[in-house]
Amino acid sequence: MQEKLLRNRIGMEETVADIAPSTVRRVQTFFGRDANAEAGMDLPEVWHWCVFHQPPFAHELAKDRYRKVGGFLPPIALPRRGWGDDCSSSGPSPSAGKRPGF
């Protein structure tokens, strides 16, 4: 049963509607980079993991302060959540001020 549930979730995606250049400039400043973000510029890989996700509301968090399971996360017991994969791939680099298009 659980295996079928997990197989049905393969390929699930979440999409952020836009990446504001102002957010990019704040991240660049934090990391000591020139804050020169403009619409259409390519962003460094993996920035989407730390910056450009939809922050959850407090009621969407579990006791461990991660999102509750059952929405994007599979509805299974995850007693020790955290980094779960060191092998990933992504589409084209996101661009500031543009909707992602995959």
Are the CB atoms for 21 and 39 separated by under 8 Å?
Answer: yes
Query: In this structure, are residues 47 and 96 in contact, taking their beta carbons and an 8 Å threshold?
Result: no
Percent of the chain with pLDDT strictly greater than 70: 75
Q: How far apart are CA 8 and CA 100, in angstroms?
A: 24
DSSP 59: G
Residue 95 pLDDT greater than 80, yes or no: no
| pLDDT category of residue 26 using cuts at 50, 70 and 90 | confident
95 vs 25, which has greater pLDDT? 25
Residue found by looking up tokens 């929405």 in the block: 71
Look up tokens 């500031």; give the residue.
96
Joined together, the tokens standing for residue 5 give: 């549930």
Please give the residue that has the higher pLDDT: either 8 or 89.
Answer: 8
Residue 35 has pLDDT above 70, yes or no: yes
Mean pLDDT over 10-28 rounds to 81
pLDDT of residue 58: 92
SS3 2: helix
**pTM summary value:** 0.46
Q: How far is CA 5 from CA 12, 66, 74, 81, in A?
A: 12, 21, 8, 19
